[in-house]
Homo-oligomer: A and B are copies of this chain.
Amino acid sequence: MTDHVLVVGTGLLGTSVGIALSRKGFRVSLEDVSPTAVALARDLGAGTIGTDDSPDLVIVAAPPDVAGQVVADQLAAYPRAHVTDVASVKVAVADAVRRSAPDHLDRYVGSHPMAGRERSGAVAAQADLFEGRTWVICPHAATAPEATELVRRVAEAVGAVPVTMDAAEHDAAVATVSHLPQVAASLVAARLREVSEDAVALAGQGVRDVTRIAASDPMLWTQILAGNASALLPVVERLAGDVAAVRDALRRVTDDPDSEGARGVLATAIADGQLGRARIPGKHGAPPTTYATVLVVVPDRPGSLAHLFHDVGAASVSIEDIRIEHARGGPVGLVELSVLPAVLDRLRSALTAAGWSVHE
């Protein structure tokens, strides 16, 4: 039974794990190269500083570039402990461990909690950071079952959903579903530097959605992209090929606006995107669902959202998703409510009867 967990690296992930485990009755010890960072984590309730006896599990929450070496150091420092890391890239870290601690591989299992935000540091830590999130565990051939079991238990204790996956499979997966989108968001957002303020003023919800994650931290993401370079490279190569195809189609259309072949390339690009998008799971891991949506015009003042959701609740409707669009130049917002199609009519009737300006 895991009583004692040592967290090495008290940034966002490490501190959050510490706080969550402490609240669940685990004994959590903390280490960090920065005395300030570890003191802050302790003050936030993540655990106690340092330890004299061996932990059962060491969680290395160091940046991707150094995680492997830190894991190796911990394997050597605590011969009876199992060790995991939580970096976003798994093969590179496992390779580093293999190089530095070849005799202790059975006590190491890589993992990756799919949690976190643009913010970083202990000060941003949250006990609920992992609630409902996937925690991927990547045992390798030599991993002792006990190591995997310990990480699984920690994941469940903090409210996450453990999933086992091969390290290379993990890296390939996150290359496509996490790292490529980050690259695309950043490159699209960078184009906004080249246009006038009047042009940017035309920005609607589309570009806001596409570039939302462009606010991410360059230092961390450089480590992630570089750390996952070999899995990410083929994905970026395919993106490069597709962008080139769109570029060539646009060139052909500029010469001949009726060019059917060129238009076919563009149509296929959009259609393929539709198909890819439809594969993303719906709420709570359910199969992709087509929701019905209702647009409600909401006055922009405190209390209006409360009124809206009061009326939604009075209709006993569960909201599957919500988006707010901020209209330029007017004192209203548009709230888009996504619901299961079966309850659409009930919601529209209820809101209309309550006086809302509603439409599909």
List residues of chain A with CB under 8 Å of any chain B CB.
92, 114, 119, 124, 126-128, 131-134, 136, 159, 161, 163, 165, 169, 172-174, 176-178, 180-204, 206-219, 221-222, 225-227, 229-230, 232-233, 235-240, 242-244, 246-247, 250-251, 253-254, 257, 262-263, 266-285, 295, 297, 300-310, 312-314, 316-319, 321-322, 324, 326-334, 357, 359-360
Contact of A174 among B165, B202, B314 (CB under 8 A): B202
Contact status A330-B280, CB under 8 Å: no
- For A285, give the chain B residue with the smallest CB separation: B328
Contact of A273 among B178, B214, B302, B331 (CB under 8 A): B214
- For A127, give the chain B residue with the smallest CB separation: B359
Do A188 and B195 contact each other (CB < 8 Å), given the known contacts A257-B226, A332-B132? no
5 residue pairs bridging A and B, Cβ less than 8 Å apart: A161-B330, A178-B206, A180-B191, A181-B207, A302-B317
Most B Cβ at <10 Å: residue of A169, A273, A304: A273
Most B Cβ at <10 Å: residue of A215, A300, A302, A304: A302
Contact status B202-A136, CB under 8 Å: yes
A-side binding surface: helix, strand, loop or mixed? helix
A300 cross-chain contacts in B, Cβ below 8 A = 284, 318
- Determine the distance from Cα of A64 to Cα of B253 in the docked complex, in whole angstroms: 14
A126 cross-chain contacts in B, Cβ below 8 A = 295, 359-360
CB distance from A249 to the nearest CB of B (A): 8
Contact status B280-A161, CB under 8 Å: no
Contact of A209 among B114, B186, B209 (CB under 8 A): B209
Contact status B277-A177, CB under 8 Å: no
A183 cross-chain contacts in B, Cβ below 8 A = 243, 246, 269
Contact status A216-B274, CB under 8 Å: yes
Contact status A204-B178, CB under 8 Å: yes
Contact status B195-A173, CB under 8 Å: yes
CB distance from A310 to the nearest CB of B (A): 5
Contact status B238-A240, CB under 8 Å: no
Do A312 and B306 contact each other (CB < 8 Å), given the known contacts A131-B332, A279-B193? yes
- For A119, give the chain B residue with the smallest CB separation: B360
Most B Cβ at <10 Å: residue of A136, A198, A239, A275: A239
Contact status B195-A172, CB under 8 Å: yes
Contact status B305-A114, CB under 8 Å: no
- Determine the distance from Cα of A198 to Cα of B200 in the docked complex, in whole angstroms: 38
Contact status A193-B131, CB under 8 Å: no
- Determine the distance from Cα of A209 to Cα of B219 in the docked complex, in whole angstroms: 22
- For A262, give the chain B residue with the smallest CB separation: B226
A272 cross-chain contacts in B, Cβ below 8 A = 186, 189-190, 193
Contact of A328 among B127, B210, B284, B316 (CB under 8 A): B284
Contact status A269-B186, CB under 8 Å: yes
Do A131 and B213 contact each other (CB < 8 Å), given the known contacts A238-B191, A309-B308? no
- Determine the distance from Cα of A220 to Cα of B41 in the docked complex, in whole angstroms: 53
Do A186 and B281 contact each other (CB < 8 Å), given the known contacts A240-B240, A263-B222, A329-B134? no
Contact of A180 among B188, B208, B239, B297 (CB under 8 A): B188
Contact status A209-B207, CB under 8 Å: no
- Determine the distance from Cα of A317 to Cα of B303 in the docked complex, in whole angstroms: 8
A136 cross-chain contacts in B, Cβ below 8 A = 202
Contact status A192-B238, CB under 8 Å: no
